[in-house]
Chains A and B, each alone.
Chain A
Amino acid sequence: MTTLPTSTQKKLGLVIDLDTCVGCHACVISCKGWNTENYGAPLSDQDAYGANPSGTFLNRVHSYEVQPAEGAAQLIHFPKSCLHCEDAPCVTVCPTGASYKRVEDGIVLVNESDCIGCGLCAWACPYGAREMDAEEKVMKKCTLCVDRIYNENLPEEDREPACVRTCPAGARHFGDFADPDSNVSRLTAERGGVDLMPEQGTKPVNKYLPPRPKDAMPEIDVLAPYLEPVVAEPKGFISWLDKALEKL
């Protein structure tokens, strides 16, 4: 049924730390690697070595330049994947029931054998988390590595999403938001984790930790302001050139 569960036992999701992310795209590659070789249809590429390469990705890293009112601009890397929303609009629009939100852990999944490839779920998602695979013609999305997190064939430290496992900066954290003492709940509370596009009313489970404020460099030498400027007026040839150009 594509009606949403009123509540889920767990709320599994990610915390993404925008202060720590270095924009290396390792999470993008590990995601594509794991999800191409495992659960569901592979993530295809079209014209991968040609003039117009394009392909299906479940996780993409944007980069934004943010210009404060004063001071230098900041560059912020911004990984984006499915936010496993509590009020997921992609689930309710699905005509076949292929899209669903799991009652046990809140993961939003697609049953690919029921997907007719109408694309309406991708239309309903404000975050661009769903992509239609051009080869398989079914909707692909982040599964929160559902085939890793419960997989007893993997060593225990690998039982987390591939993107989290691979992040060299430690900018991605996986856990249960329903548990107020979990790592992700505490991080969100301590660092003021936020929802993306809260006005869309999707109640995303994944949270983003905003970049920490930049510190200001204080004046190092108290006498520095009293020193004479090094170059006041140009001299010699430069002085002549300056005046000559002025007159033109």
Chain B
Amino acid sequence: MHPAPSVIIFTTFSGLGFGLLVWLGFGLPAVTGWTAFAFFTIAYVMAVGGLIASTFHLGHPERAMKAFRQWRSSWLSREGICAVVALILMALYGAGLVFLETRWSILGILGALFSLATVFTTSMIYTQLKTIPRWNMPLTPANFLSLSIAGGALLAGQVGTAVILLLIAGVIQFFTWKVGDSRLAESGTDMASATQLGGIGQVRAFEPPHTGTNYLLREFVHVVGRKHADKLRMIALGLMTALPVILLMLPFAHWVAVIAVIAHIAGVICTRWLFFAQAEHVVGLYYGKR
């Protein structure tokens, strides 16, 4: 898949923003007034910024309101609804904390649950696709949710919990890669099943339909970036999990926490780039590519 910057920014920052909202919703940390304002601003800039970035890859963003209609069948529609509900609930809850110094805990818990649901529905947009066997497995939502909650804990300053959650997210990330690597082969979809010509013999793509490229090849067949995948995985795990965990073990200082957060975000961007760049869409098989 083509690793478009808009979807990488969207999944990375929305995941972190909604992850932070989950913790704030449960009152961890139990902030009020201007401190609460600062926390909520960070969460909203990330969550809403990510959502706005996601509209950049739309052909017709002016029609985006129509995307709330098909929640019965579409995970993308469900995600939109969950995101809007979560943002409204958390805005009301946040307003109570900031301006009235009052905690409406039921509102906070509901907002936190919808924030979690937003991250889950985002992951299901990718997980549902049988055409991309690497994504089509339960580890994908586990990967998105664990990263979001761990990143949220890091941003919410829950140092002890963040260390454990970052390690869990790292382990899940490792297995997501490990299991994902063999998903295409296990799916049973290959050139023989795509063309149904395997009964005659070995199938080879002889000539593509056009001499030039096309939308399908640009969008679904991205082979260039896979060369350094192993190195990038190491770098991603180091930045996303190892470095923040080490920094959090050190005596607490604000600048150390800031470096931990920046490292974590850089690591997550790296894993999301790999998430798209390494994903093989089965349509590539018609072109003899994967």
Measuring CB to CB, which residues of chain A are less than 8 angstroms from any residue of chain B?
1-3, 18, 28, 52-57, 60-69, 73-76, 78, 80, 89, 91-98, 114-120, 122-128, 131-132, 134, 136-138, 194-201, 208, 210-211
Contact = CB atoms under 8 A, between A and B. Distances in A.
Interface of B: 1, 57-61, 63-64, 66-70, 72-77, 80, 125, 128-132, 187-189, 191, 193-197, 199-216, 219-220, 281-283, 286-287
A132 B59 contact: yes
Contacts of A132: 59, 215, 219
A131 B214 contact: yes
B59 A138 contact: yes
Closest 5 CB pairs of A and B: A117-B59, A137-B59, A60-B209, A68-B201, A95-B77
Contact of A196 (B64, B194, B201): B194
Contacts of B282: 126, 197, 200
Contacts of A63: 205-207
B69 A97 contact: yes
Given A68-B201, A128-B220, A198-B193, A116 B66 contact: yes
A60 B210 contact: yes
B197 A95 contact: no
Contacts of B194: 126, 196-197
Given A1-B72, A62-B207, A117-B59, A134 B189 contact: no
A208 B193 CA distance: 12
A119 B68 CA distance: 16
B285 to A, nearest CB: 9
A222 B139 CA distance: 66
B207 to A, nearest CB: 4
A210 B199 contact: yes
A122 B283 CA distance: 10
Contacts of A123: 1, 129, 131-132, 219-220, 281
A66 B202 CA distance: 5
A75 to B, nearest CB: 6
A196 B195 contact: yes
A18 B196 CA distance: 11
A194 B196 contact: yes
A69 B201 CA distance: 6
